[in-house]
Amino acid sequence: MIALNRSLPGVRLEGCKTKVYPDNLPTTSVVIVFHNEAWSTLLRTVHSVINRSPGHMIEEIVLVDDAKYLSIFSNSTSLFLIGRDRKCGNKSMSR
């Protein structure tokens, strides 16, 4: 099994490794749409976003489950929100 908090090799181009970004950039929402994804893979993806992004820049992480076959959240399309305070919420959308 692959660990949730795994180390990954740096794959950025040389010019990107030395680029410095301002601290006052606006916050962003990260949207992850998944389809029949293994729970462990989805958790690794969310952990990667949290661990490799500046915390002050992420407003929320939105997980969208299309619920086509074996939904892990419900029988309808679901939005799963992870806010900046790490509190979670679930909103269901009917098709």
Please write the tens of the pLDDT for every residue from 59-86. 888 888 776 655 555 555 555 666 655 5
CA distance 84 to 82: 7
Of 32, 41, 29, 5, residue with least CA distance to 83:
29
Low-confidence stretches of the chain (pLDDT beneath 70): 67-95
Of 81, 75, 4, residue with least CA distance to 42:
4
pLDDT at 93: 46
pLDDT at 80: 64
pLDDT at 82: 66
pLDDT at 87: 54
pLDDT at 26: 94
- 90 pairs with which residues across the strands? 80
- The radius of gyration of the chain's CA atoms, rounded to the nearest angstrom, is 16
Pairing, β 77-83 against β 88-93: antiparallel
Tokens of 80: 């799963």
Residue with tokens 């690794």: 44
